[in-house]
Structure 1
């Protein structure tokens, strides 16, 4: 997919076609804790990893709304596939903030990029760069990537240590295959270990300057690119409400179909669609879904407004509002999934049942640190009261 104007309709058609293949291999991928190489290869061949990449580097430079709708559409078919369909393009976002030489090196390779932000690495200065060692978890998509950004506290330019992402080839790390989880199993979010890998200065991204300014290190960027026209973290994390909502929409559809066709054996063969319980549940799950859609729409609208205005820096209360919106969608989708599972009862708990798979995946989505509900409440509440905010999200 070359750097050109892409119609939303065409993008959603691409999303549907790719996601339907992912859905067809969903249960095998869940058992194997990885998608097939062919599925990921087709994603790359279609150029879908370039959706957010700046146009000067061969990307499409999508705005938030079409990108989020792309992720939402994939999640309707397979939440784990949407996780990777979100992560591969969005990880190119931080690449776009590296020093110019680092950007060129990674983008010219046109390879898949992954990361682990958690600053667990240890560094030793060497020349103009550093030697990186350490262990990390949750490297989603690493099995098929060529580049990885690893978090560490780095004393850049002789200053105090600060949180950074250090970009290195995946060939220089050890993949620790420890991804055996409740849900999102096909994402292959394994652990990483490395020892003494040299990282030059141009491959190091200091996070605090990027988050506080929304501008790339070293200049050389197009101010019209959407990535540079909104606050970094709300933009970087925009896929989470999209994939939570897409999965919830599919679950509600499956719930409605089963409710219409369900017979209650222990209620003398009563039709669930004619029971007060079934009627009430149908209304309630759809109302909750409408609430999630409204929260999602608020998130999209705010990002689009910031891009239009070119506001890469916002007040804490604005940033924390986005945090609580993300958290509310993720938590709401997980609660909706739990309600649907427990309402449908024993027929939905078997392996090989799509309801069971979607429920596990949505519960696991809600566990991600960037939208933990209690953290979001703390951050938003503090910002509203003028007591500070969450330091990152």
Structure 2
């Protein structure tokens, strides 16, 4: 069993800083993550130095409320942070995007729960998994008792807290999708993460067995949807449809991985000589076509991801909430951006020839990482496209989390 180390008192900043400062810190951190990429893969988790760097820089605190020292950042900032991290090390980025997104979710918990996590440890790292049919909870005096086993809990080996979802009988007897906030001491991490991609993301299984969760550390899926502003000037990230935006942050991470792959291929192709002909690979028109296709896919993915951020910002800042079609469109465009990013990686992978298959070639890591990232539920094009297509045709939205 792996356990998260105790939080340090010195590296964490009382105030994380502004969004622009966090973006710059992410860019500055990227070279170190790239240098540690092989070590991260071998450990099957980000090394301790990376965990300390995340806490020190506060890059995971983008959406943490300002009252706890967070940045209350705009949506675009998450993409700006995740792109350089994904370019450097897909596994580390995959763990960090969980920290960012679950911090964002914490904003919807009761204030007492937020105090539990952040009052004494404002740089706390959070992980979680949002598959309710893998857990069961029953109501008891003062809260709930939760049991279950959840896979794919990315970054859990680094986290001090995790969020789990489970079905439980609701007030009217119907099944209720409820979210639970659990300290690391109350769950068991199983060493299960042996994967072909994102090898160092520590996406292990987690088990809870009859764990008591006090009432204030639970909330329902309904609170994760968009809500009206509670005071003038409230940051839009506190009002956003969180499951919808989660797909945007994952898509931004996939975009970073793709950018890293294409940049790596360009560096190699510019100096590569064909063994068969002895000519420069860059002189082959087929190579030129492929790199043009990959770069165009990357640019289109960027436009889609940032467009989704800007559109959601515009809607919320106008004083209204996004309708069903707008939420479904946001998820679908983020997913399609991920599809374009995957296409870019596949194009340069095919163009790279036999030398790409060696583990020593970083292009093989990007290829495997993208293959794994593309299996995330937010990157499932069929699921996202059906929701968007239904709402565009005037049919009811089929995804209860959106």
Q: What band does the TM-score fall into relative to the shorter chain?
A: over 0.9
Out of 322, 339, 351, the residue aligned to residue 331 of structure 1 is: 339
Out of 89, 92, 95, the residue aligned to residue 84 of structure 1 is: 95
- Quote the offset at 1:112 in angstroms: 1.3
Out of 126, 139, 143, the residue aligned to residue 153 of structure 2 is: 139
2:312 is the counterpart of 1:303: yes
**Runs of at least 5 residues in structure 1 that lack an aligned partner in the other structure:** none
2:398 is the counterpart of 1:390: yes
Distance in structure 1 (CA, Å) of the matches to 2:291 and 2:61: 40
Counterpart mapping for 1:31-110 below 5 A: 31-110=42-121
2:285 is the counterpart of 1:276: yes
Out of 134, 137, 142, the residue aligned to residue 128 of structure 1 is: 142
Distance in structure 2 (CA, Å) of the matches to 1:385 and 1:341: 38
Counterpart mapping for 1:158-173 below 5 A: 159-173=173-187
- Quote the offset at 1:16 in angstroms: 2.1
Distance in structure 1 (CA, Å) of the matches to 2:237 and 2:295: 34
Q: Do the aligned residues in 2 keep the contact of 1:214 with 1:232 (CA within 8 Å)? A: no
Distance in structure 2 (CA, Å) of the matches to 1:348 and 1:39: 27
Counterpart mapping for 1:184-203 below 5 A: 184-203=198-217
Distance in structure 2 (CA, Å) of the matches to 1:201 and 1:349: 51
SS in 1 for 2:209: strand
Q: Do the aligned residues in 1 keep the contact of 2:63 with 2:237 (CA within 8 Å)? A: yes
2:15 is the counterpart of 1:3: yes
Which digits, 9 at most, give the CA deviation of each residue in 1:331-367, with x for residues without a partner?
1111221121111111111112111111111111111
Out of 159, 181, 189, the residue aligned to residue 175 of structure 1 is: 189
Distance in structure 1 (CA, Å) of the matches to 2:100 and 2:298: 27
SS in 2 for 1:390: coil
- Quote the offset at 1:145 in angstroms: 1.1
1:16 is matched with which residue?
A: 27
Distance in structure 2 (CA, Å) of the matches to 1:341 and 1:93: 35
Q: Do the aligned residues in 1 keep the contact of 2:168 with 2:175 (CA within 8 Å)? A: yes
Out of 203, 218, 227, the residue aligned to residue 214 of structure 1 is: 227
2:254 is matched with which residue?
A: 244
Distance in structure 2 (CA, Å) of the matches to 1:262 and 1:49: 38
SS in 2 for 1:237: helix
TM value normalised by structure 1:
0.92
2:273 is matched with which residue?
A: 263
Distance in structure 2 (CA, Å) of the matches to 1:34 and 1:340: 27
Distance in structure 2 (CA, Å) of the matches to 1:103 and 1:113: 12
Distance in structure 2 (CA, Å) of the matches to 1:73 and 1:275: 30
1:253 is matched with which residue?
A: 263
1:340 is matched with which residue?
A: 348
2:376 is the counterpart of 1:368: yes
- Quote the offset at 1:4 in angstroms: 6.9
Distance in structure 2 (CA, Å) of the matches to 1:61 and 1:368: 26
Aligned length: 386
Decide whether aligned partners of structure 1 residues 305 and 3 sit closer, same or farther in structure 2, where only a CA change above 3 A counts. farther
Q: Do the aligned residues in 2 keep the contact of 1:114 with 1:141 (CA within 8 Å)? A: yes
Distance in structure 2 (CA, Å) of the matches to 1:74 and 1:316: 32
- Quote the offset at 1:240 in angstroms: 1.4
Q: Do the aligned residues in 1 keep the contact of 2:93 with 2:253 (CA within 8 Å)? A: yes
- Quote the offset at 1:256 in angstroms: 2.0
Decide whether aligned partners of structure 1 residues 210 and 239 sit closer, same or farther in structure 2, where only a CA change above 3 A counts. closer
Q: What RMSD in Å do the two structures reach over aligned CA positions?
A: 2.0
SS in 1 for 2:194: coil
Which digits, 9 at most, give the CA deviation of each residue in 1:206-263, with x for residues without a partner?
002432x4369xx8x8861232233222333331121122222222222222222222
User: After TM superposition, what 4+ stretches of structure 1 lie above 6 angstroms from structure 2?
Assistant: none
Q: Do the aligned residues in 2 keep the contact of 1:341 with 1:349 (CA within 8 Å)? A: no
SS in 2 for 1:185: coil
Distance in structure 1 (CA, Å) of the matches to 2:358 and 2:112: 51
